[in-house]
Amino acid sequence: MTTPTTLRFHWIMTVQYGPETSTLSNTAEVDAAVSRTEVYRDLRAHVAQKIGTRSFVVLYFALEPDQL
C-alpha cells in the first residue's frame, strides 16, 4: 500500500481588519510533506487576497483532516 502524497484538510480562519470581522472556511489539498506552519502561511495569504488586505489579525484558526 502506498502512502498518499496529498491530504485533504478542512480549515476555518476568523480575522479582524479595522472594524470588520470575517470568517472563511474551505478545504485544502496539502502535500503530505508540508508543515502546519507552511499551510497556515499559505491560507493566511489566501484570506488576505479574499478580503483585500494583508493587514489583519487572526482571531481563530483551525486545521483538521477532512474526514469524519
Name the band, by pLDDT with cuts 50, 70 and 90, for residue 47.
very high
Q: Which CATH architecture has domain 6-65?
A: Roll (3.10)
Query: Can you tell me the distance from the alpha carbon of 5 to that of 12, in angstroms, rounded to the nearest whole number?
Result: 23
Average pLDDT over residues 30-57: 98
The residue extents of the domains of the chain are 6-65
Cβ contact 7:61 at 8 Å: no
- Write down the mean pLDDT value for the chain: 96
Give the residue-averaged pLDDT of 43-52.
98
pTM to 2 decimal places: 0.90
**What tens digit of pLDDT does each residue of 6-33 get?**
999 999 999 999 999 999 999 999 999 9
User: Within 10 A of 39 (CB to CB), how many other CB atoms are there?
Assistant: 18
pLDDT of residue 17: 98
